[in-house]
Every structure is written in C-alpha cells, then in structure tokens.
Amino acid sequence: MISVKHLKKSFGDLEVLKDINVDIGQKEVVVVIGPSGSGKSTFLRCLNLIESITNGTVSIDGVELTDKKVDINKLRAEVGMVFQQFNLFPHKTVLENITLPIVTVKKESKQDAEKKAKDLLQKVGLLDKADAYPESLSGGQKQRVAIARALGMEPKVMLFDEPTSALDPEMVGEVLGVMKQLAEEGMTMVVVTHEMGFAKEVGDCVIFMDEGYVVEEKEPKQLFENPQHERTKAFLSKIL
Amino acid sequence: MDFRFDIIVEYFPFFMEGMGLTILMSVVGVLMGCILGFFIALGKMSPILIVRLPFIWYINFLRGTPLLVQLFLFHYAVLPTLLGSTTPVISVMVTLSLNSSAYVAEIFRAGLQSIDKGQAEAAHSLGMNKFQVMRHVLLPQAFKRSIPPLGNEFIVLLKDSSLGAMIAAQELLYWGRAASGQYLRVWEPYLMVALVYLVLTLSLTYLLNYLERRFDVK
Ligand SMILES: Nc1ncnc2c1ncn2[C@@H]1O[C@H](COP(=O)(O)OP(=O)(O)OP(=O)(O)O)[C@@H](O)[C@H]1O
Ligand SMILES: [Mg+2]
C-alpha cells in the first residue's frame, strides 16, 4: 500500500530524514515512536506531500509521489491526516467542517455531503454537536470531529500525528477508541503516538525512529519486550 | 463675542452637500482601497522576490509620503498626463483609493499571516487547492480579524478627505472655507465643519462596533 524507499528530507542544511525505508501493507496499522526531533512528524508529512520530498521515492497505492505528473490535491484527498492541534476550521460549524472538503474537493452536492457528514458524526458519537462551533467542544470532541472530517474524503490511508498529545488524560480514551474502531474496519493507518497501550493492542508493527533513521521495526510485543538496539532500549526505558 | 448663527443657517445646505461628497469620496476610497489592497497584499506575500518588490515599493511610497503631496502629484501631474484632464473629485478619489490600498494591504497581510499555519495545512491535507484554501479557510478568518483595523482606516480616510479642499473639491471643508471667505468669520464655519466631521466619525465608530459584535457571534 505504502512503499518508502531511501526517503531523505532536508530543511536547508539540516538533514532530518536520512534514508527511510518502510513498507506498509493494506489494512496494516503502523505505530511510529521515537524521541522528540527524530523526524516522526516530518516522515508523516512527506507521505501526503505537506512537506516536499528531498530525495528517494514514496508510492501510495501505486501512485509515485515524486512523479511530476501526480495530482497532489487528489493524492492528499486520498491520504487523510489528523493533527495534534486538531486544526478544525473555527469559522465553520462541526457539520460544515466535514462538508466543506466533500463539497469543494469531491464536488458532491450539499445534501449528499450533509448526509455523509451526519453518518460520520454518528460514528464518532458527536451527532448532537453538528451545529456547534469548534470552540465550544472539548479537546477530545475536537479530535473526533477532525477524524470524521478526514474520513469524509474516504481516504485509503489515515495518518495520525500525536492525535492525543494535546488532550487532557481523561479524553485520550475516547479518541483512541475511535481509532481502534477504524483499525478494526480495515483502515490502513500510520500513527505517531506515545500511547504504548494503543501500540500494543492495535498496532501490527512499531517503527522506532531516531535521528532521521528507522532504527528498529518489529511487531509491538517483540519490540517492547525484546528491543535489539541500545537506542531503542534507552528510549523505551524512559517512556515505559 | 457674538456668534452669527445666520451664517451657519445660510450655509447649512452647502455643508450638507459637502458632507455628502465627503462620505461619497471616503466610501469610494475605502472600497477601492479594499479591492486593490487585497491584490497588493497577495502580491506582497509572493514567495518570488521579483514579484514582491514592486508591491513593497508601492506600499513604501504611499505610506512614506504625505497624503497632501500625493494629492498634488496626482491632481496636477499624474492624472492630467494619463487621462488628459481630471476634476478635483476624481483626483481625490483616486488618491484616497491608492493611499488606502497601501494601508489596507498591510491590514490584510497581517490578518492572513496571523492565521495559524495548521489551518492551511489541514485544508491542503484534505485535498483543497490553493484557491479553495484561500477562499474557504484563510480569507474568512483573516477578514474577520481585519474588521477593527479596517474600521480605523475608514475613519482616517474620512478625515483625510478634507485635504480635497486644497484642490477645491467641494467637500465639507471646502464650504467651511467658502463661508469663512465670504463673511470674514473664522469661528462659525470651522466649528460647524468640525462638528459635522465629529458626527460622521462617531456614527461610523458606533456602526463599526456593531459590526464587530455581529461578526463575533459568527
Ligand atoms: N519547517 C521546518 N524547517 C526547519 N526545520 C524543521 C522544520 N520542521 C521540522 N524541522 C526540524 O526537523 C527535525 C525533526 O522534526 P519533527 O517535527 O519531524 O520531529 P518529531 O520526531 O515529530 O518530534 P516531536 O516528537 O517533538 O514532534 C527537528 O530538528 C525540527 O527542528
Ligand atoms: Mg512531531
């Protein structure tokens, strides 16, 4: 589904990603962990070209991202992204947040978009908030709306960049619950998170990144219980 | 000191006419300023230096030289050269439009740049193109933030339109000077003119506060 080969990314002189090679199969849930500044967000952002790729290749569902002819907007519509800071549109209601991209990008009618948006809100348990503005929602609710908004584009892949890091502890569960449900429905997901419980329970594979490299890549149980590299051990001992 | 109300009464219709022109010139100035200012803001935010440069200097010139100098320049030099002839009212409207476009451009630019980068990123990540992101996500938010400074700009413009009297545009101050010249009186006409400006700016302030509240409710 996703194939990353020799991916490199630099900001000016600073090389942030130094030769990343990863293959992610359909319906796979990959959890990315690693210390701050190791390049996790940058890696994720390269997958939907929010960050340009300096070198190497990334292909998603057969589409080569570095191909000059690739329709970036079409690709992005097929790769959903959920941010740490939610990034809901504050001037739009919850329902409008979800319908806006469906109407503008997918060119669906307003009625169809609203129906779809309501189904999605139902799914994340927020149908009663359809007409509320984001500022009146709690962090956990905002993130669930953000997930619903991304799902409205019917993406083939969902990327999550620390989706629960900005939440109060009591709200982490509701967001992880929605993500777990998504995984069970067969969504291909790449998740940057420090929630090791989620990684163990839902993840098919955990990638440990450090200083722009993938240091270790294993099944969650193996990685957590039997890390091979010193750096993985050091990192795990700090967070577990 | 005697106060000759009869001068004010006699000139009242002219003051009202002048006030109409003052309002018209300011409204044209602020509307054209907004339209031009929008494109100038976009130009000044271009990632390409060569594109950016003319906009930077457009703004520098219009903000860095006195409005009265600009008015003389347009009325006596630029417009007659470009159009063959001009009238005082046209010169004032053109000068006010261009001058306010420079200030409005900076207001819009500040508004757009104050929007969190995550907004554009999220919109792009949903597959929206640059135009759609601008139209549906950035501009509505930037515009809302621009309302208070735009209101201030409107008030400044309304007062600055009085410079039109220097080239005999028949706006409010023009009639004050006319009355003063005819009766050789200074208190009555200029106090009256000041009072009308005050009524205009205060009404505008109330209107703008009302609009700000309305837009805050979303
Ligand atoms: N737009 C940018 N310009 C310059 N440097 C950047 C930019 N974005 C990220 N970096 C740098 O790239 C490195 C990796 O950043 P990245 O955000 O990918 O790390 P991360 O693993 O997600 O960290 P965190 O856990 O703190 O989110 C950091 O050193 C960061 O300062
Ligand atoms: Mg990060």
Per-residue pLDDT tens over the stretch A138-170: 999 999 999 999 999 999 999 999 999 999 999
Residue B21 contacts residue B169 (beta carbons within 8 Å):
yes
Q: What is the DSSP string of B137-157?
A: IIHHHHHHHHHHHHHHHHHHH
Nearest protein Cα to ligand 1, atom 18: A39
Strand pairing report for A79-82 and A157-161? parallel
Distance between CA atoms of residues B14 and B170, nearest Å: 9
Distance between CA atoms of residues A216 and B130, nearest Å: 38
Per-residue pLDDT tens over the stretch B78-105: 999 999 999 999 999 999 999 999 999 9
Give A138-156 as a 3 state SS string.
CHHHHHHHHHHHHHCCCCC
8 Å CB contact of B129 and A48: no
pTM of the model: 0.89
Domain range summary for chain A, segments of one domain joined by +: 2-88+157-237
| DSSP category for residue B163 | G
The token duo for A107 is 């060119």
| DSSP category for residue A68 | T
Q: What is the mean pLDDT of residues B35-58?
A: 96
Confidence band of B212 (pLDDT split at 50, 70, 90): confident
User: Which pLDDT does position B25 carry in this prediction?
Assistant: 98
* Superfamily name with CATH number, domain A2-88+157-237: P-loop containing nucleotide triphosphate hydrolases (3.40.50.300)
- pLDDT of residue A122 exceeding 90: yes
Residue with tokens 């594979």: A205
Nearest protein Cα to ligand 1, atom 3: A11
User: Which pLDDT does position A201 carry in this prediction?
Assistant: 95
Tell me, in angstroms, the distance from the centre of ligand 1 to residue A214's CA.
Answer: 15
Per-residue pLDDT tens over the stretch B169-210: 999 999 999 999 999 999 999 999 999 999 999 999 999 999
Nearest atom in ligand 1 to the alpha carbon of residue A51 is: 1
Cα three-residue angle A162-A194-A76, rounded to 5 degrees: 30
Confidence band of A239 (pLDDT split at 50, 70, 90): confident
- Decide whether any atom of ligand 1 lies within 6 Å of the A38 Cβ: yes
- Decide whether any atom of ligand 1 lies within 6 Å of the A212 Cβ: no
- Decide whether any atom of ligand 1 lies within 6 Å of the A14 Cβ: yes
- pLDDT of residue A113 exceeding 80: yes
- pLDDT of residue B67 exceeding 90: yes
User: Which pLDDT does position A217 carry in this prediction?
Assistant: 95
User: Which pLDDT does position B218 carry in this prediction?
Assistant: 44
Neighbours of B85 (CB within 10 A): 7
Cβ-Cβ pairs closer than 8 A, A with B, add up to 63
**Which residue of B lies nearest to A85 if distances are taken between CA atoms?**
B118
Domains and CATH numbers, chain B: 25-171 (1.10.3720.10)
User: Which pLDDT does position B111 carry in this prediction?
Assistant: 96
Nearest atom in ligand 1 to the alpha carbon of residue A14 is: 5
**H or E stretch covering B42:** helix B5-44
Q: Which of B122, B132, B136 faces A83 most closely, judged by CB atoms?
A: B122
Per-residue pLDDT tens over the stretch B127-153: 999 999 999 999 999 999 999 999 999
Give B2-40 as a 3 state SS string.
CCCHHHHHHHHHHHHHHHHHHHHHHHHHHHHHHHHHHHH
How near does any CA of chain A get to the CA of B211, in Å?
16
